[in-house]
Amino acid sequence: MFGFKFLGRTHIPHHKNTAEMPPVKMTPPKEVLLPMSQHIGAPATPVVKAGDEVKVGQLIAEPTGYVSSPIYASVSGKVLKIEDYLRPDGKTVPAIRIASDGLMTLAEDIAPPTVSDFDSFIEAIRLSGLVGLGGAGFPTSVKLDAVKRGDIKTVIINGAECEPYLTSDTRTMLDDGESVFDGITLLEKYIPSVDKFIFGIEKNKPECIEEMARIFRDNPKVSILPLPSLYPQGAEKIIIYNTTGLVVPEGKLPADVGVLVINVTSLSVLAKYVKTGMPLVERCVTLDGSALANPMNVLAPIGTSVRELVEFSGGFKEEVGKVLFGGPMMGVPAANLDEPITKTTGGITAMNIKDSTEQEPTACIHCGRCVETCPMGLNPTVFAKAVNIEGLEDRMARLEEYSINLCMECGACSFVCPARRPLVQSIRLGKATLRNHKLTNKNK
């Protein structure tokens, strides 16, 4: 069927323990904390103040600039304060803390948007607050607006969900098929240049493949493509190549090769907003891991703390070693249980002490497994060495020469390394150093 070799060859444990569990709607949390930066781009700007009463779906922060996204109240109640919030990546942004009244009263102005052409369609997506729900957080309106800059022929719906434990996208395909269908219908109507839609779904989700094939059996533009269950199948550049054979060059976007990629849950949320006018205020979050008493999928208001989510699911069954936003391959550790979920949180993985204890690294044995497994064809060991070069300019030159920014930080190299070298950590450090160095030189 394919005339090219698949990218991504890492076999990882799937642990899809909650795949057959429809999401349970959470009782209203006591409070939510909504950071103004839940997306790639400029943080949103608060339009409420301490003491204001708010309702579910009410605008509380407006986008700042083209690449930004609005934030809406996910509970009804009172704004307690606007505070500084230290994100997991070390950046500090404003955040709005809302005490819930437990009523979940809807805002009066919620109504379906008026959509009549491409521009009004894009404006509706912008107003929905929708960003890439697969984890990247790129504003969806900006992504689709790329149609103006290129001839988009193919849309890839990303249903790979290759991260261990996570099953929130799986539940979208099984529970919200009607919304997924409506989303495709909208894209067909307002992006007429598209002549094919490809669903990329890993083969370890046969029920999803069957359901999507059933829903779209009468649409010749839509094809359902079962993909090998190889990590990192869901990464944007990987799924583009593995479904079309197209290569997105370094520094370019999918639109530059005539392709758009949209996460399947993002597609569903888009359709629901156009139908109801309810912006993005909740997420289906997979709760799983060896420390949890009752793994499950939960529909929770954005801004809910990890602590309240875990309590709702039944708590921990043993001592926790590490809690991750996301899964074990690309997840980001939570500093504490009071951290909030955001628009891009598809799962919380809580591991016990045994499963989260860091193994002591040993010297590199030059086995080449990290090079062999890298889906981008990079050599992770040279990045690790370059980070430790003493001269700053030499270090920066070497990192650029080796194309460190091509790395997607998927973690495959660390996963297969028999010496347990902290390869991903070294790469993240190198990328951050290079980024700051360029910014400093630019501002001189």
- As a whole number of angstroms, the distance between CA 396 and CA 402 comes to 10
Longest dimension (CA), the chain: 64
| Intervals of the chain under pLDDT 70 | 1-8, 444
The predicted structure's pLDDT at residue 227: 95
Answering whether pTM is above 0.75, one says yes
Instruction: Output b/e per residue, 154-187; b: 16+ Cβ within 10 A.
Output: bbbbbbbbbbbbbbbbbbbbbbbbebbbbbbebb
The encoded tokens of residue 204 equal: 């370890």
Task: Find all residues with CB under 8 Å of 80, minimum gap 6, and list them.
Answer: 31, 50, 97, 98, 99
The predicted structure's pLDDT at residue 4: 47
- Give the pairing of strands 222-227 and 196-202: parallel
Set out the domains of the chain in order of their start, with CATH numbers.
118-276 (3.40.50.11540), 369-443 (no CATH)
Identify the bridge partners of residue 225 per DSSP, sorted by sequence position: 200
CB distance 179 to 171 below 8 Å = no
Give the number of other Cβ atoms within 10 Å of residue 193's Cβ.
11
CB distance 2 to 223 below 8 Å = no
The predicted structure's pLDDT at residue 384: 87
- As a whole number of angstroms, the distance between CA 176 and CA 204 comes to 19
CB distance 295 to 26 below 8 Å = no
The predicted structure's pLDDT at residue 5: 53
Chain centroid to CA 16: 18
The predicted structure's pLDDT at residue 435: 87
- Give the pairing of strands 59-62 and 332-333: unpaired
Query: Count of H helices and E strands in the chain?
Result: 14, 17
- As a whole number of angstroms, the distance between CA 295 and CA 291 comes to 9
- As a whole number of angstroms, the distance between CA 167 and CA 334 comes to 20
- As a whole number of angstroms, the distance between CA 9 and CA 12 comes to 10
What 3-state class would DSSP assign to 368?
coil
Q: What is the end-to-end Cα distance of the chain in Å, rounded?
A: 53
Q: Where are the beta strands (DSSP E) in 316-394?
A: 320-325, 332-333, 347-352
- Give the pairing of strands 320-325 and 332-333: antiparallel
Task: Give pLDDT tens digits for 346-367.
Answer: 999 999 999 998 889 999 999 9
Give the number of other Cβ atoms within 10 Å of residue 277's Cβ.
17
CB distance 327 to 164 below 8 Å = yes
